[in-house]
Structure 1
Amino acid sequence: MGNLLTQSSTSGKNQLEVAIKCAEAAAQIIRLRILDTFERDSKIKLGLTTKNGWNDRVTEVDGEAEKAIIEILESEYPEHGIIAEESGVQGSISSPFQWYIDPIDGTRNFASGLPHTCVSVGLWQKHAPILGVLIDPIRNETFTAVNGGGAKVNGIDVFASEEGNLSEALLGFDMGYNPEQGNFLLSAINELWPQFQSVRMMGSAALGITYSGCARLDLYAHHYVQPWDIAAAIVFVQEAGGLVTDLNGEKIHPHSGHILAGSPAIHKVFMNSTADSEWRKSVKNAD
């Protein structure tokens, strides 16, 4: 961790300070537009449009927030690479340092006025996680994790669930953008019910994963995620003492494409309980 915190940017800040600055700049843009979500024509005011599928949405606020992050990163670390949700690859793709940014994870929640969204900023060095910063601009919660430095929410140390009994577990999921896999997920949940406490559909993969790192969820799973969705949250769960893998139980990285995170004991039980589900099989077939 010492190496990380002494590696200065052009302005003399360390990487964690820069990541927080980026996330806060985007969060402030989101806060200024929250009132627009209450308007009758909110979707028009927010510039809500469709990207790659009927339920893959984006607003003009996503673009504004992402631009603010990129401007900071290009100024502070011009030699680093950036992988951004809306504008793609920026900077040096050959750099060992790659920033993964999602300006609004949970865009559909945001556009609908549902107070469950976040900004996600993660930094990896090749295949090694360095840090993750996520800010929930509605609840004013800042989630930070540094490799070897633990996980914190608003500066307070937090830890993943140690629950070992599936019947006591709260599980989190999201539907994704593939209708068939979404149906397989619902079937898998139905097959497990009522062996667990309850289920939550989060609408923000980044927050769902992060919640599994601070025991708000005992487990979170998603069959289709992008690098910017998970890069920061992976670091948070690992530093909180949780177990995070892909849905096949393999080592996780930002480009894994699917994820399972939370209590190590519940992770094992869930893997065994869903091994023969069409949902898990669909993930294996897609790899």
Structure 2
Amino acid sequence: MADRDALLELAVSIARETGEMLLAKRPARPEVLATKSSPTDVVTALDRAAEELIRARIRQARPQDAILGEEGGETPGLSGPSGEGAPGPSGANHVKWVVDPIDGTVNFLYGLPDWAVSIAVEVDGEIVAGVVHNVPRGEIFTAVRGGGAWLAGERLRCNTGVPLARALVATGFGYGAERRRVQAEVLAQVVPNVRDIRRAGSCAVDLCSVAAGRVDAYYERGTNYWDWAAAGLIAAEAGARFAGLNGKPASPELTLSAAPGLFEELHDLLAPLDPERG
């Protein structure tokens, strides 16, 4: 059986090394190599360098594991008869690492303080360990399934007993103009019903903020698996619900997280607004 604590220890070590590399090499204005979904959806040279470092360290330690990364896509492990997602040595689990080398690249580009290295470990299709390293703030959030969420040796607990009207809600916006228009329409209906809105610019940081009680809830359309694989586990292990709309799991269609009670209130506010459109 895969040792979850050992997997987390490796993930933390890699995330820490990657963060140190990014701080050391980040120029005053990082080079934009390419754009993805729109001209505002950027990739920097250091996004790719960070993912290459993470992949190299995983390969050195666990060559049998698969890796899914935002920049490099999915690659199979190096062992197993099929060479594609097959288990490693007899009796071993299928392990896949889910990597976002810089979650919050626009923040990284502009020198804003909320961007993170996110590494999750999936065993037999279930996320069992995760780390989110908010590099500028020097914060390392961790979780092992069933073992709680942690920051600096303190167990995290999300805020509970907060009604929707007093909830501080984090959200984010997509890169396409039409999606932004729809998100603005939805937000206009959310704002009068909550305490206030916060926009950090990183899905992973927002979910860790739910876990740490820095915000009460989070929702967003358009996030990807690597954005929330680690942070979703951290939020859940801190007591928050983490899911999509109408009983669906979290997905690019919508990701929603809050303590039980508030989760349902926010869900019921969002669902009639059809936030998955656009």
TM-score by length of 2: 0.89
Query: 1:154-173: CA deviations, max 9, x gaps?
Result: 22111112133112111111
Q: Distance in 2 between matches of 1:178 and 1:258?
A: 16
Stretches of structure 1 that go unaligned for 5 or more consecutive residues are 6-13
Following superposition, the deviation at residue 20 of structure 1 comes to 0.6
- Listed as ranges, the matches of 1:21-60 within 5 Å are 21-34=13-26, 36-37=27-28, 42-43=29-30, 46-60=31-45
Following superposition, the deviation at residue 230 of structure 1 comes to 0.9
Question: Which of 262, 265, 269 is equivalent to 1:269?
Answer: 265
Q: Which residue of 1 aligns with 2:91?
A: none
1:15 aligns with 2:11: no
Q: CA contact under 8 A between 1:184 and 1:278: conserved in structure 2?
A: no
Q: Which residue of 2 aligns with 1:101?
A: 99
Query: 1:3-47: CA deviations, max 9, x gaps?
Result: 423xxxxxxxx211110111012101111134x23xxxx24xx34
Question: More displaced, 197-206 or 137-146?
Answer: 197-206
Question: Which of 186, 209, 215 is equivalent to 2:207?
Answer: 209
The verdict on how the C-alpha distance between 1:189 and 1:241 changes in structure 2, with shifts beyond 3 A counting, is same
Following superposition, the deviation at residue 243 of structure 1 comes to 0.3
Q: CA contact under 8 A between 1:80 and 1:99: conserved in structure 2?
A: yes
What one-letter code is carried by the residue in structure 1 that aligns with 2:205? L
Q: CA contact under 8 A between 1:53 and 1:177: conserved in structure 2?
A: yes
Query: 1:112-163: CA deviations, max 9, x gaps?
Result: 1111100000011133221010101111000000011100012211111213
Q: CA contact under 8 A between 1:163 and 1:218: conserved in structure 2?
A: no
TM-score by length of 1: 0.86
Q: Distance in 2 between matches of 1:187 and 1:51?
A: 25
Q: CA contact under 8 A between 1:150 and 1:239: conserved in structure 2?
A: yes
Q: Distance in 1 between matches of 2:228 and 2:33?
A: 23
Q: Distance in 1 between matches of 2:149 and 2:192?
A: 32
1:77 aligns with 2:62: yes
1:170 aligns with 2:168: yes
Q: Which residue of 2 aligns with 1:154?
A: 152
Note the aligned Cα RMSD (angstroms): 1.9
- Listed as ranges, the matches of 1:252-267 within 5 Å are 252=250, 257-267=253-263
Q: Distance in 1 between matches of 2:152 and 2:75?
A: 30
1:116 aligns with 2:106: no
Q: Distance in 2 between matches of 1:249 and 1:220?
A: 17
Runs ≥4 in structure 1, deviation > 4 angstroms? none
Percent identity over paired residues: 28
Q: Which residue of 1 aligns with 2:71?
A: 86
Query: 1:37-72: CA deviations, max 9, x gaps?
Result: 3xxxx24xx345322312211111111111111111
Q: Distance in 1 between matches of 2:32 and 2:38?
A: 17
Q: Which residue of 1 aligns with 2:218?
A: 220
Q: Which residue of 1 aligns with 2:4?
A: 4
Q: Distance in 2 between matches of 1:102 and 1:117?
A: 11
Q: CA contact under 8 A between 1:209 and 1:233: conserved in structure 2?
A: yes
Q: CA contact under 8 A between 1:159 and 1:213: conserved in structure 2?
A: yes
Q: Which residue of 2 aligns with 1:180?
A: 178
What one-letter code is carried by the residue in structure 2 that aligns with 1:173? T
Following superposition, the deviation at residue 220 of structure 1 comes to 0.8
Q: CA contact under 8 A between 1:172 and 1:201: conserved in structure 2?
A: yes
What one-letter code is carried by the residue in structure 2 that aligns with 1:270? L
Q: Distance in 1 between matches of 2:224 and 2:205?
A: 14
Q: Which residue of 1 aligns with 2:90?
A: none
Q: CA contact under 8 A between 1:163 and 1:169: conserved in structure 2?
A: no
Q: Which residue of 2 aligns with 1:8?
A: none
Q: Which residue of 2 aligns with 1:136?
A: 134
